[in-house]
Structures are given as C-alpha cells and as structure tokens.
Amino acid sequence: MKKIFIFQLILLLFVIAACKKDYPMDDDGLLITNRSDCYVSAFELLGADFQTVRTKAATIDTTAQTINVEVLYGTDLKNLYPQFSLVIDAVLDPKIVGKVDFSDLSKPKEWTVVSGNRKVRKTYKVYLTVKQ
C-alpha cells in the first residue's frame, strides 16, 4: 500500500513539474514576450471630469517620438489624465497613476515605451498647446 502511495506521489510530482511553464514575468507580473515593437498608437487627454480636452486628434510621430496635442482654451492644465494606447505587449514607464500637471508648456512631459521583450525603450515627448 505504501509503495502505491509513494508511486502515485512521485507520479503526481512529475506531472506537476511537466505542466509547469517558466514564463518570464516583469516586476509588475506582466508576461515578457519576444516582441520588439515599441511605439504609441493613440493618445488621449482627459480633464478632471474625465472628458476629452483635445480640440482634434493628437499628432503622433513615431520616428521623432513626439506627441503634439492641442487642448481647449480654459482647460485646467494642472489636472489632466493622459492615456496612451501602445503596441501589443509594450508597457509605459513611468506608470500613470493619477492626474498630471501640464501647466509648464515650455517643458514637454516624457514617458518611455518599453517593448514586450523589455529590451527596446523609446522615450516620447508630449507637447501641449492651448487653442486661442
């Protein structure tokens, strides 16, 4: 009886070990893939009421790694919520965890897009202008 139990236990351990996959994960628990693409595909800017403050679609230049966005006159530039759409498996650094202060228009905000394989990093500058 003990031999059968020990055999079943050993068999179970082999099955568990065989089923376990060693998928690489980053510090946030996200899967690291083999994708090296690294770009922003869309950008949104929301006000304190979570409604868009853009006057038109943001212009994203993936070569120059810039995003130009024009906001409505009277927008509270200290309380904006940027939203990035990235290529599959990419992540944004630093993470956006709340409102962002864009009030100093002379200094663009910067975020880095990191590829799915975590080897390619591209820093995007977000330039904001206010419609007159």
pLDDT at 23: 74
Contact 35, 24 (CB under 8 A): no
Number of domains in the chain: 1
75 C-beta neighbours (distance < 10 Å), count: 20
CATH number, domain containing residue 115: 2.60.40.2340
Please state the pTM of the whole predicted model: 0.81
Asked whether residue 79 is assigned to any structural domain, the reply reads yes
Range of the domain at 96: 24-130
What pLDDT digit, counting tens, does each position of 9-56 carry? 777 666 666 555 667 888 888 889 999 999 999 999 999 999 999 999
Asked whether residue 13 is assigned to any structural domain, the reply reads no
Cα Rg, the chain, nearest whole Å: 23
What's the chain's average pLDDT? 91
92 C-beta neighbours (distance < 10 Å), count: 16
4 or 87, greater pLDDT: 87
